Structure 1
Amino acid sequence: MMVGIRRIFEANFRVYNARKVWRQLQREGFGVARCTVTLLVKAMGLQGIIRGKSVKTTFSDKSAPSPLDRVNRQFKVPAPNRLWVSDFSYLAPGRASSMPPSS
């Protein structure tokens, strides 16, 4: 079975994952469970192309000092149960109905 899995994987430019290898084995008449193919593919160290998020290769150094706060932000709550909300909406000139026209 492992020879068939390796053959299918190599014949398809090493891009097939376990599910596609299993589907090809089914088309060729091999009655094997998909979980078995998945375990064998993993044991053989084969990995097809993965769509979606790529592997993260860079990790931040937690022991490095953080840069200084250059805008002097104060992360202190002035009183309990206070909620501060800000809105950075963009209003095109002349479109705001509640604002007086600019001179």
Structure 2
Amino acid sequence: MTWTDIGHIDEIPLRGARKVKTIGGCVAVFRTAEAEVFATGGSCPHKGGPLADGIVHDRKVTCPLHNWVIDLTSGAVLGADDGQVPTYPVRVEEDGRLLIDLGELRLRRSA
């Protein structure tokens, strides 16, 4: 895995998100009310809405454009027959630093 430091967990509020620009493209990083952290592709598959601007609830995010709901654990669009957002491994270090594995992101961008 190619772990890259993307900031501190305190930079993302509970039930919030932020967009992270990486060498492989933009990623949305989410923090749930229980302080779980997830990372997905930055855009909704419906109309490209910015997922980091969405509403985080439970382990889901609602796209701010048309209310599509995405499961943060799998990237699946809930209630739709198709649609998927890529997900990326992310972890929180003991000191609160967030690390994301960009290896898969780079592979997808080069395909």
Which TM-score tier does this pair reach, normalised by the shorter chain? under 0.3
Structure ranking higher in strand proportion:
2
TM-score by length of 2: 0.23
More helix by share: 1
If you compute each CA radius of gyration, which structure gives the higher value, 1 or 2?
Answer: 1
